Amino acid sequence: MIPNAVSVIGAGAFGTALALAFARAGREVTLWGRDGARMDAMAATRDCAPYLPDIRLEGEITPTADLALAGGAPLLVMAVPTQSLWQVMKDLAAHLNRDAVVISAAKGIERETGFFVTESMRDAAGNHAYGILSGPSFASDIARGLPTAIVLAMREEEQAKAIARHLSSPGLRLYHSADIRGVEIGGAAKNVLAIAAGIVSGMGLGESARAAIVTRGFAELRRYAEAHGARPETLMGLSGLGDLVLSASSAQSRNFALGLALGGGKSIAEANPSGKLAEGVFTAGILAETARRKNVEMPIVEAVSNVLDGKITVVEAARALMTRPLKGE
C-alpha cells in the first residue's frame, strides 16, 4: 500500500502542474517552493501566477517554503532544473525518511559531473529508491487537465507500476518502465535536438529540413542511449521519440523557441531576455563530451554545442551538416 501523501519539490510551472494532476488523482500534495512570500500568497489566494496564469490550485494541495515539512513525505517528486537538482537534494537529505521514494522530473545531464539525474540525486542524498519521470508534456496542458501520457522508470518495475497507478489521473496517464537510463537519456538529448530543430525553422530552411534534423537527431539519440545500455523500445516510446517530436515542433518548448530565435539571427542573450535558459543549453556541451568518450557519433549535437559556445555561426553549422559525407541510413 502506497501512502496517500506526496510532495512536489519545485513550484515552477511544471512542478505546480504535477501537483494539480496528483491532487486530481486523490493525493494529498505538499508543494514546495523556495520563495516563502510567494508560497504564502499561493496558499492564501490559490492562484498559480505567474507561472500558470488563469490556473487555480485544486484539491488537497498545501503550498509551503518549509523544506522539512515537504521532505517528510513518503513519496517526493523533484521538479527543479537539472543543474540545481544536486544542491536541492543535498538540502533535502536530512529531512528524508529512510524508506522515502524520490522521483525526478528534470530532463538533462549535470554539466559539472556528467551525472544523469538519478545519479545526481543518489550522490547528494544517499541510498533511497530513485526514479525518473519523463515524456511529451507541457506544463500548461497538464495544469488544464488535458490528456497527457508520460513514463515513470524505476529499478524495480513493480514499484514503478504501483506508483504510476497511484499518481495517474483522468488527464495524466503514467506508463511504467525499468529502463531508468533510457528514459533519462531520452529527456536530456531531446532538449538539445529541439534547439537544432528550432534553428532550422528560424533560418527558414523549410519543413523538409526540420523533419530531416529530427529524424537524424533521433538516430543520434538512439546511438548514444544504446551505448549506455538503454532498451531500443524505450527510445521508440513516449520518453524518447514521443518527447522529441513534441519538443522539436512547438514554440511552447523553451528549447525549440531558443533555437528559433538563434536561427533568426539573435544572440543567446537576445533569445533569453529573462535569463532563464532552456535545459538544452546546459546539456549540449556535456552530451557532446560524453558522446566522444563513448565514440558515439553525434554531429547534430556537436553542431548545437559549438553554436552555443560561439565557436561557429548557425549558417556555418548548417553548411557543415549538409556537406558531411553521404552514407547509408
- Checking DSSP bridges between strand 129-134 and strand 148-154, what pairing results, if any? antiparallel
Out of 190, 276, 294, 311, which one is annotated catalytic? 190
Strand partners, 64: 32
Angle at 269 between CA 110 and CA 297, to 5 degrees: 45
**Which cell numbers in the block locate residue 327?**
552514407
Nearest to 101 by CA among 69, 71, 134, 123: 71
What strands, in cross-sheet order, belong to the sheet with 129-134? 61-64, 28-32, 5-9, 75-78, 101-104, 129-134, 148-154, 172-177
Assigned C-alpha cell, 324:
558531411
Chain-centre distance for alpha carbon 30: 21
- Is 90 annotated as catalytic? no
Q: What are phi and psi of 48, to 5 degrees?
A: -95, 10
* Bridge partner residues of 173 (DSSP): 149
Count each helix (H run) and each strand (E run) in the chain, helices first. Answer: 16, 8
Catalytic residues: 190
